[in-house]
C-alpha cells in the first residue's frame, strides 16, 4: 500500500487485453522534483487499447494503462515550486524528458530524445512506468499541471491527452479567426478538434464518413459537416481549407487524395490519428495540384497544456464524456467499448475512492 506500493488494474497480456486484473506495483524512486498524485479520475484513450492489444508493439506485461489523470497532490519533492500538497493536478501522456536540451528549452519537450510515455516506458533505473487506472501516480512537476477550479475533474481528464493532441497542432498551424479548418474523424480527439478549433475562432467543418454524428458535431459548434460517403462530397470545398486535422484511426479504404484536394495552396494536412498497420501510399504527384504540406504532431508542451486548460475554463468548454467506475469490470468495459468505437466521445474512469481506500 501507498507509499511503498501503488495499486492498479493491469493488462496481464495482449491476449487478455480487456480483462485487467488488480495489481500492486512499486513506483520509480521519488525524486526532488517529483509529486505523488492520489488519483480521482482518468480518461480512457485509444492508445490504451492499441497498447493493451499489443497493436503498437508493447511487450511489457503486466501493464497499467491510463494517461489522462486527475488527482490531488499528496506528497511533493523538496524542489517542487508549482504544486502544493492538496492541489488538484493533472498528468497527461508524457511523464519525463531531459528538460535541458535545445528541443526541451524551445517548448518542444514532447519531441525530446529522452521523452518517456506515462505508461509502458522504462525509467533509467529499470522501473516500468504504469498509468492512471491506479491509486497513485508519481510524476515530475514539469508534467504535472494545476487544474483550473472551473473545470470538473471528469471533463478535464480527457483534455490531457486527446484534448492536447488536438489543441497543439491547431495552434501551431494557425487555427484562428479568418481560417477554415477541417476536423477529420469525430471521436475522442476529433470532438476536441471541433471544440478547440471553434474556441480559437476558426470556421470549423467536421468531416466524417456518414451523417451519423452530424447532430453531435453541430452541437459541438461545427459550422458545417462533410459526409465523405456521398459522391462528390469534396467538390464544393476544393482549395478552400487552410488546415485539416486528421484524427482518423483506421486506414481501411482510405485515400488521401480527396482530402488533400480541399486544401488551399500550401494548406496543411496534419495527421494525429495513429492507425495500426502500414499507412498511406503517397507520391509527390499527389501534392502537386495545391503544393500542400503533410505533417503530424505529438501531444504538446507544458505551456500549451496550461494555455489549453485556461481556454477551456474561460470559455466553459465541456468535453463530451461518459463516466464509468474504475475497477476490473469498469476498465475492461471501457477498453472493449473504445475498441468498438462505442463511446460519445470519451470515457472517464471515476469512483476511485471505492476501489482504493
Positions 65 through 94 that interact with Zn ion (CB under 5 A): 93
The percent of the chain in helix, strand and coil, each rounded to the nearest 5, is: 30, 25, 45
**Contact between residue 260 and residue 243 where contact means Cβ atoms under 8 Å apart:** no
Positions 6 through 45 that interact with Zn ion (CB under 5 A): 45
The least distance separating Zn ion from the CB of residue 65, rounded to whole angstroms, comes to 9
Site for Zn ion (CB under 5 A): which residue of 95, 112, 139, 206?
Answer: 112
56 binds Zn ion (CB under 5 A): no
Closer of 292 and 343 to Zn ion (Cβ): 343
- Rounded to 5 degrees, what are φ and ψ at 94? -115, 135
Closer of 70 and 292 to Zn ion (Cβ): 70
- Rounded to 5 degrees, what are φ and ψ at 182? -110, 135
Closer of 94 and 234 to Zn ion (Cβ): 94
Closer of 89 and 166 to Zn ion (Cβ): 166
Closer of 204 and 301 to Zn ion (Cβ): 301
Site for Zn ion (CB under 5 A): which residue of 39, 47, 181, 247?
Answer: 47
Closer of 112 and 312 to Zn ion (Cβ): 112
Question: What mask of x and - would describe binding to Zn ion in positions 149 to 188, judged by CB under 5 A?
Answer: ------------x---------------------------
Question: What mask of x and - would describe binding to Zn ion in positions 90 to 109, judged by CB under 5 A?
Answer: ---x---xx--x--x-----
**Contact between residue 18 and residue 53 where contact means Cβ atoms under 8 Å apart:** no
Helices (H), 220-327: 257-260, 302-315
Pick from 286, 279, 222, 281: which is nearest to 258 by CA? Answer: 286
**Contact between residue 40 and residue 352 where contact means Cβ atoms under 8 Å apart:** yes
What separation, in Å, do the N-terminal and C-terminal C-alpha atoms of the chain show? 10
Nearby residues of 313 by Cβ (< 8 Å), 6 or more positions away: 148, 149, 150, 151
- The residues that touch Zn ion, with contacts defined as CB under 5 A, are 45, 47, 93, 97-98, 101, 104, 112, 161
Amino acid at each position: 500500500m501507498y507509499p511503498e506500493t501503488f495499486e492498479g488494474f493491469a493488462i496481464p497480456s495482449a491476449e487478455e487485453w480487456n480483462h485487467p486484473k488488480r495489481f500492486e506495483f512499486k513506483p520509480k524512486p521519488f525524486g526532488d522534483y517529483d509529486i505523488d498524485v492520489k488519483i480521482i479520475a482518468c480518461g480512457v484513450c485509444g492508445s490504451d487499447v492499441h497498447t493493451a492489444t499489443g497493436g503498437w508493439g508493447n511487450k511489457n506485461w503486466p501493464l497499467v494503462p491510463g494517461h489522462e489523470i486527475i488527482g490531488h497532490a499528496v506528497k511533493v519533492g523538496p524542489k517542487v515550486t508549482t504544486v502544493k500538497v492538496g492541489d488538484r493536478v493533472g498528468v497527461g501522456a508524457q511523464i519525463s524528458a531531459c528538460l535541458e536540451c535545445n528541443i526541451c528549452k524551445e517548448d518542444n519537450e514532447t519531441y525530446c530524445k529522452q521523452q518517456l510515455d506515462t505508461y509502458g516506458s522504462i525509467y533509467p533505473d529499470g522501473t516500468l512506468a504504469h498509468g492512471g487506472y491506479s491509486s497513485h501516480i508519481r510524476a515530475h512537476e514539469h508534467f504535472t499541471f494545476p487544474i483550473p477550479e472551473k473545470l470538473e475533474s471528469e471533463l478535464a481528464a480527457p483534455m490531457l491527452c486527446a484534448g492536447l493532441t488536438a489543441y497543439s497542432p491547431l495552434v501551431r498551424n494557425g487555427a484562428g479567426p479568418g481560417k477554415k479548418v477541417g476536423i477529420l474523424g469525430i471521436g475522442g480527439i476529433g470532438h476536441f478538434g471541433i471544440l478547440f478549433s471553434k474556441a480559437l475562432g476558426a470556421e470549423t467543418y467536421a468531416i466524417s464518413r456518414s451523417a451519423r454524428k452530424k447532430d453531435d458535431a453541430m452541437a459541438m459548434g461545427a459550422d458545417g459537416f462533410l459526409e465523405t460517403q456521398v459522391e462528390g462530397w469534396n467538390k464544393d470545398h476544393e482549395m478552400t481549407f487552410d488546415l485539416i486535422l486528421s484524427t482518423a484511426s483506421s486506414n481501411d479504404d482510405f485515400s488521401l487524395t480527396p482530402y488533400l484536394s480541399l486544401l488551399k495552396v500550401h494548406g496543411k494536412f496534419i495527421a494525429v490519428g495513429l492507425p495500426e498497420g502500414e499507412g498511406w501510399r503517397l507520391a509527390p504527384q499527389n501534392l502537386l495540384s495545391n503544393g500542400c504540406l503533410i505533417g503530424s504532431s505529438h501531444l504538446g508542451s507544458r505551456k500549451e497544456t496550461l494555455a489549453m486548460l485556461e481556454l477551456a475554463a474561460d470559455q466553459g468548454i465541456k468535453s463530451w464524456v461518459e463516466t464509468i467506475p474504475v475497477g476490473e469490470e469498469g476498465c475492461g468495459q471501457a477498453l472493449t467499448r473504445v475498441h468498438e468505437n462505442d463511446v460519445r466521445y470519451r470515457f472517464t474512469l471515476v469512483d476511485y475512492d471505492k476501489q482504493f481506500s
